[in-house]
Amino acid sequence: MKKLKLRPKIELFRWSLYNDGLPSNDFLVRRKLSNLSGCPRGCMEDENEWHIAGNCSKLHEVIFLLNKWGFQNPIFNNLQDCFEGLKKLVGKNSIIAKMYCTSTWLVWKSRCKLIHDGIEDSNNFFASYVVSTSTFSNFFNQGPENWDTNQRELFCSWYPPPTGWIKLNVDASILSNNVAGFGGVIRDEKGIFLLAFGINIMHWDIAQIELMAILHLKYIFHDWMFEAQGIIIEGDNFNIINILQSAMKNWKVSKRIEEKFSFLLDFNQVMFSFSKICCNKLADICANLALKSLFTWENIGSQDIPPPFLFCLKEECDSLGLL
């Protein structure tokens, strides 16, 4: 748990949880300070360590929302499973472990608020907060390798960003004669179209072209991009996503960043995400359209937008309802 570098308050909470030190209803009954051991949220279950660590309905709702946004938080079966499962995640997928710990802490904090003030914050608030505070590595892995059973593996489509965030998907395409295209599309949490672009150049290195697609952001700046709570930049080139992730990590440590990446600091928050090709279809369409001509679309009603793009946009938007 130390390795996760949790905030001191969250670390203290975890420590209390492991050592049966939280003043839960079950705890108070065992110490004969109360005779109501149930969860104050009406979960019809004793509020004990397991309930707080992994079984409260409120925690499940927050995790469900996070997973709807494309994260892969686990649901555990019992306390031991939970502790061991988290231990396994540390190092391998620390951001998820950190998210899980932050979620349980927030849900506990909110439960105390419920008891004292009679109200709780919304699940949306919780989940957005969890994402904002777990961006220590500016990266979350969308690959299926960490969890063997997950809906994501069965259901392969674009995943929306958290509420209040925007997401840029980028892709590159190259022809045998070195004509290359790159493109990107920005959408919000509901899958609503905000902007798309496509550029062509002569180039031979697909990774470099994908990087250009991301750097192209600085030529299409709009106020709404900075007003968003954050931006997730998603591509299917693992190396490029890694390079950007390291650049942001270095910035956090040394406050130094390569000139070409410095525009990223203008956003409220930036995260990089690696996606499977099948989850990056719309950006792929942009990159292929760019081979023929340059474009910037800022309005979905634009006459220039071809039907395949619209069809894919609609399909991915519709599929959000199925998540």
Residue whose CB is less far from Zn ion, 60 or 276: 60
Cα(141)–Cα(127) distance, integer angstroms: 18
* Cβ atoms 304, 262 nearer than 8 A: no
Shortest distance, position 48 Cβ to Zn ion, whole Å: 10
Q: Using only C-alpha atoms, what is the Rg of the chain?
A: 22
Shortest distance, position 43 Cβ to Zn ion, whole Å: 3
Residue whose CB is less far from Zn ion, 45 or 315: 45
56 near Zn ion, rule: CB under 5 A:
yes
Residue whose CB is less far from Zn ion, 56 or 279: 56
* Cβ atoms 177, 243 nearer than 8 A: no
Shortest distance, position 98 Cβ to Zn ion, whole Å: 22
Residue whose CB is less far from Zn ion, 48 or 93: 48
Closest CA to 102 of 17, 10, 16: 10
User: 131: Cβ–Cβ under 8 A, 6 or more apart, which residues?
Assistant: 66, 69, 71, 99, 162, 165, 230
Q: Specify the stretch interacting with Zn ion by CB under 5 A; choose among 54-62, 141-149, 223-231, 247-255.
A: 54-62
* Cβ atoms 172, 277 nearer than 8 A: no
Shortest distance, position 83 Cβ to Zn ion, whole Å: 19
Shortest distance, position 50 Cβ to Zn ion, whole Å: 11
99 near Zn ion, rule: CB under 5 A:
no
97 near Zn ion, rule: CB under 5 A:
no
- Residues numbered 130 to 159 that lie near Zn ion (CB under 5 A) are none
User: 214: Cβ–Cβ under 8 A, 6 or more apart, which residues?
Assistant: 168, 170, 184, 233, 235, 240, 244
Inter-CA distances, 158 with 216, 292, 301, 314, Å: 21, 25, 22, 11
- Residues numbered 272 to 311 that lie near Zn ion (CB under 5 A) are none
Give how far the C-alpha of residue 264 lies from the chain's centroid of Cα atoms, to the nearest Å: 17
Total residues at the site for Zn ion (CB under 5 A)? 4
257 near Zn ion, rule: CB under 5 A:
no
Residue whose CB is less far from Zn ion, 120 or 315: 120
Residue whose CB is less far from Zn ion, 61 or 315: 61
- Residues numbered 178 to 237 that lie near Zn ion (CB under 5 A) are none
Residue ranges in the chain assigned as alpha helix (H): 8-18, 25-30, 49-50, 57-68, 79-89, 94-117, 123-133, 151-154, 206-215, 223-227, 238-254, 281-290, 307-320
Residue whose CB is less far from Zn ion, 44 or 154: 44
Cα(107)–Cα(78) distance, integer angstroms: 18
User: 322: Cβ–Cβ under 8 A, 6 or more apart, which residues?
Assistant: 155
Shortest distance, position 19 Cβ to Zn ion, whole Å: 21
Residue whose CB is less far from Zn ion, 1 or 114: 114
Cα(127)–Cα(108) distance, integer angstroms: 14
Shortest distance, position 27 Cβ to Zn ion, whole Å: 14
Q: Specify the stretch interacting with Zn ion by CB under 5 A; choose among 17-25, 55-63, 188-196, 270-278.
A: 55-63
Residue whose CB is less far from Zn ion, 71 or 108: 108
- Residues 12-51 vs Zn ion: string with x where CB under 5 A? ---------------------------x-x-x--------
Shortest distance, position 79 Cβ to Zn ion, whole Å: 15
Which residues sit at the interface with Zn ion, rule CB under 5 A? 39, 41, 43, 56
